[in-house]
């Protein structure tokens, strides 16, 4: 019997590449008894990702599959990750600052069961350096988006967005810090909404 059969919660993995503050916010939110998910695994492509230690300290499985060991074999890296996901009975994936572009193989396998948070109001500013690009474009509003993961990078259906005003004198770092606060609130709210709809099917 899996843990989710015991608790009724969907078994989630968070994917990180660095400090993992969005992962931490998700794990904390999921501690609420009525939250529809539990985090059972934190996965990283980088053994040095700061968030791994925090996750291990929470008693979670915190596992790195170092992409550098696979050279150009991106699918091989993801097949190794997928084996870890299967071993932990993962049912749903939250990309949370995972900075590798996924191959169609993993995306297709997990389509409909994998979401991402992006630090911009999609469809604006797909890709990297979103805060500086928003300032350079002179936009008055910025923010974050939670979306489904599909083969096109940052192109999947939008689940939820949080707006953050751009203030006079903002630097990219100042704007990033305010967007990050909004991300932490947005991601768990969006996950709750997505899982409530999934479990109704």
Q: Output 8 or 151, the one with its CB closest to ligand GAR.
A: 151
Among 118, 142, 147, 184, the active-site one is 118
Q: What is the 3-state secondary structure (H, E, C) of 46-63?
A: CCCCHHHHHHHHCCCEEE
Residues that bind ligand GAR (CB under 6 A): 16, 18-22, 96-97, 117-119, 180, 183
φ and ψ at residue 71, rounded to 5 degrees? 55, -125
**Would residue 147 show up in a list of annotated catalytic residues for this protein?**
no
Q: Output 4 or 51, the one with its CB closest to ligand GAR.
A: 51
Residue 49 C-beta: closest distance to ligand GAR, Å: 8
Residue 5 C-beta: closest distance to ligand GAR, Å: 30
Whether 186 and 146 have beta carbons less than 8 Å apart is answered as: yes
Q: Output 10 or 95, the one with its CB closest to ligand GAR.
A: 95
Compute the distance between CA of residue 90 and CA of residue 93 in angstroms, rounded to an integer.
8
- Axis-axis angle for helices 172-200, 130-137 (nearest 10): 110
Q: Name the residue with the smallest CB distance to ligand GAR.
A: 97
- Catalytic residue numbers, as ranges: 118
């Amino acid at each position: 019997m899996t843990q989710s059969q015991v608790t009724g919660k969907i078994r989630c993995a968070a994917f990180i590449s660095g400090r993992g503050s969005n992962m931490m916010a998700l794990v904390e939110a999921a501690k609420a008894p009525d939250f529809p998910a539990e985090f059972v695994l934190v996965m990283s492509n980088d053994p040095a990702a700061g968030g791994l230690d925090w996750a291990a300290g929470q008693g979670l499985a915190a596992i790195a599959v170092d992409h550098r060991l696979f050279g150009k074999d991106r699918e091989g890296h993801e097949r190794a990750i997928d084996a870890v996901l299967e071993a932990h009975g993962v049912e749903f994936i939250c990309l949370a600052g995972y900075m590798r572009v996924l191959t169609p193989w993993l995306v297709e396998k997990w389509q409909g069961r994998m979401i991402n948070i992006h630090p911009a109001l999609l469809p604006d500013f797909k890709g990297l350096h979103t805060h500086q690009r928003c300032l350079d474009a002179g936009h008055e509003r910025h923010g974050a988006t939670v979306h489904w993961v599909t083969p096109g990078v940052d192109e999947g259906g939008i689940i939820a967005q949080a707006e953050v005003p751009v203030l006079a004198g903002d630097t990219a770092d100042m704007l990033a810090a305010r967007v990050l606060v909004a991300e932490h609130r947005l991601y768990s709210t969006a996950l709750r909404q997505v899982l409530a709809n999934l479990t109704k099917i």
